[in-house]
Structure 1
């Protein structure tokens, strides 16, 4: 098993190291802050944010207050002691928000982009998933695909992601994805997927590698977590495998050696995530399954991705144990497992992306889609009773919180997804003078309903610029793109040669397939549905 430390030294490309002041002042912008006392959003117009290292030191109500409180201002950083300097970033006419938090993603699949534009969930399982990918990918392919996917997300204002990393079909493939996560500079909760499906890489070797990686990688912005999808009774997995995972979760806090004195043994809790889809899919991994295994009531953060068709019993368990779901709106629409009941558990919900190669990579789009789809669903109930809708059931403020603070809570981190003193300095600055935002009065409505990722001017993660003046802060970006395009062309060419999966007989859970009505925007007897141009 090759060491992560060794592999880091031979990375395809490392992000650039930017020498900057120890403190930054985002001055004179409209800030969407969070008030922990009232548990609500707070809009500050003409305010400033002082960043010290990786954290927000203070949020000022006015620029004048900031100027009076921050005596050492050195905008050039060409002279003087940078350790005591403050770099001032003029944010006049700009909107400042916390970075978006994505609580479910598969970053390694970026090279598949546009190949699955009309695919369904059964198609995905047999064509794009980790079950069929190993022959197509080298470890370097996993690395470059993961890296470019995270750059794409970061450019779109996503500063934190929970990556369900099921590229763990070999030790080298697993390490490559983690190395890319570290090199990206994004805040990544990289959840190693334990998969008892590979004869050449048994579960006991996966667990041994996980322990090694945790001991090497703890902090500052990448954290190794756990993904496991076999909590329900399954013909693919025996009980001993699940028992090994349970033992790992229970004992890891005592057995993992912390690298830094700042991180004590009791502070490390390996976040757990699992796919949960019910209805006719019958994928299981429900809160009841984890409760039966004795895991749900632990202090570990647990995120159930999708939770399509979640029921009352599951919702009650989530609230009782303070565990969360990740709604991936575009994915659930695209693949057909939908989200019919997730709006009933929004107090324990966050937003995710899922397979970004098939649709949007940004949380802003997910928040907007989910806001309007929930409004549609609840409006329809009123209309079905022959009544006129008299109020809007779901506000832009709630959608904004799902995309930011609720994501931090799902990850067990109250210091993420908010602009407040002592929160992590993960921040997005929006150009308030862009055509889409001209004339805004409510900054929250401006972002959720009118902005696009093209309006993002700056992105900071852990207090450092990752996007500045609408450009990624990445050394050697063009070379990295060339390597990605070469891998994408090769892998997509191999994928074209694979036969399409059959959709006959029952689905693997025993439920029958059902044909969905297709639509045509053209008149006549022809098939306007059209081919996929790949």
Structure 2
């Protein structure tokens, strides 16, 4: 495939890493959070070693100095370190990275009219999309996120869509690039987008990036358009199809019932439904019967207010995502921690508040939170070989500094990561057996150039938004439901003294 100009930036870096990283590596002397397929739980190997050959985990040893290691194997000293699978993010919009810090106090209503795919075309050139997507993925890699399902709704033109795809290909992360079929542009609508998707699929080179589909109009589009999307997904056996579902007063649809009605839920195509705010009991039953999954984006759903009243009841079919990382954390570790404590609080409240009883047990374990952040993400994407450390699994790995101030004194490695670590404690990250972060620094040749190009785009786009008045949240939202005032917290005495402005 001819490489577009916006992709030449990292071509040499990709060649360099592939040539330099081939062969085998032994991660020696660490505590390994391995996965046991028989029990579905973890097998903790202390003072063990992990052999990686090319892109796969070959062997897990119960010793720091195993025999029979291939010649010229690189030895990586992991003494006093914790080795875990890389985190899996099953919902993100990478193209929005340049908006960082502009939406610190935004709502979902304001987001729709200021930062969403509905309004992005006039702000972004294809080069802006490329560098924003690329920098955002690099940010995720640094945070130990090795796999991303990117809901790419920047598909306003062929060039914008291709730019995001090329950035994903160039990123060194495992990206499921879900090209969005949508009618946000009058000149490039779903039929033209489907044709472009087929072109990209036909010319794609096997690698870490996989072309997928996202579609948010199962409820609103004409049946023939929706059925054409479903037929494409099924006929091409796409790796994943994803959609947003936010009900309540948002009325965005795309419920499990909607997807089941058009024949995509009960198919061989893995389906990930993000948010699933106001999921019904019938929808949950459909997800279980078809073994399809949701993506809980805990921080997003709290930040924007589309909430998650029933997600804690369907954790057996759940995974974790980030959503709009320009507004908050980019790492799945934070999402796992927030969601763990949110579920605990939810179940505790029933016992303490409704029953006036003293809790006799903790309602959710750190093990369950870790599963959501790793293994469950792999299953949501239809992959049994990512999100785990096991023989033949992909070598997507994170190595944690067990002697950092935050982790010093740990005994339970999963608790150490979920409840005590930060992304600053990540020493190494490998994707497909190659280092993308080493000794706490990204291994990205030319990364300073990426930063400079990103900052140029960010300053220009942020400048436009700073000069654009905030949309008024009065009257009714797009769906016809009225905006309603929300009581604001104030940490200072007086009336309305503490909320303050946004310092952009």
Same fold (TM over 0.5): yes
Q: CA deviation at 1:71?
A: 5.3
Aligned to 1:177: 164
**Given the alignment of the two structures, is residue 205 of structure 1 paired with residue 206 of structure 2, yes or no?**
no
- Correspondence 1:104 to 2:109: no
Tell whether the 8 Å contact from 1:21 to 1:86 is kept in structure 2 after alignment: no
SS in 2 for 1:505: coil
Q: Which stretch has the larger CA shift, 362-371 or 193-202?
A: 193-202
CA distance in 1, matches of 2:146, 2:173: 6
CA distance in structure 1 between the partners assigned to 2:259 and 2:145 by the alignment? 29
Q: Aligned equivalents of 2:32 and 2:91: distance in 1? A: 27
After superposition, the Cα gap between the structure-2 partners of 1:319 and 1:526, relative to the gap in structure 1 and judged at 3 Å, is closer
- 1:330 paired to 2:299: yes
Cα RMSD after superposing both structures: 1.3
1:320 matched residue in structure 2: 289
Indicate yes or no: 2:241 matched with 1:241: no
SS in 2 for 1:33: strand
Q: Which residue of 2 aligns with 1:394?
A: 364
Per-residue deviation, residues 367-411 of structure 1 (Å, max 9, x unmatched):
000000111111111111111112110000000000000000000
How far did 1:218 drift?
5.0
1:238 offset after TM fit, Å? 2.5
Question: TM-score scaled to structure 1, two decimals?
Answer: 0.92
Q: What is the aligned partner in structure 2 of residue 75 from structure 1?
A: none
Contact map agreement 1:276 1:305 (CA 8 A) in 2: yes
> Which position in structure 1 is the counterpart of 2:108?
121
CA contact (8 A) 2:6 2:127 kept: no
Q: Do residues 13 (structure 1) and 10 (structure 2) align?
A: yes
Aligned residues: 499
Alpha-carbon distance, 1:205 to partner? 1.4
SS of the residue corresponding to residue 63 of structure 1 reads coil
Change (3 A) 1:114 1:71: closer
Indicate the residue corresponding to 2:254 in structure 1.
Answer: 285
TM-score (norm 2): 0.97
Residue 228 of structure 1 corresponds to 215
Aligned to 1:36: 37
In structure 2, the residue matched to 1:266 is none
Aligned position for 1:132: 119
Alpha-carbon deviation of 1:246? 1.8
> How far did 1:39 drift?
1.3
Change in 2 beyond 3 A, CA 1:530/1:9: closer
Per-residue deviation, residues 97-148 of structure 1 (Å, max 9, x unmatched): 0000000000000000000000000100000001101111110000000000
Residue of structure 1 equivalent to 2:396: 426
Structure 1: segments with no counterpart, 5+ residues: 73-84, 254-268
TM-fit CA distance, 1:202? 2.3
Q: Distance in 2 between matches of 1:59 and 1:282?
A: 49
Greater CA drift, 403-412 or 196-205: 196-205
Gaps of 5+ in 2: none
Measured against aligned partners, the alpha-carbon deviations of 1:61-90 in whole angstroms (never above 9, x if no partner) come to 2223x2x13153xxxxxxxxxxxx211101
For the Cα contact (< 8 Å) 1:8–1:179, is it kept in 2?
Answer: no
Give the match's secondary structure for 2:122.
helix
Deviation at 1:495, TM superposition (A): 0.9
Shift of 1:151: 0.3
Partner of 1:92: 79
Partner residue of 1:163 out of 147, 150, 156: 150
- TM-fit CA distance, 1:13: 3.5
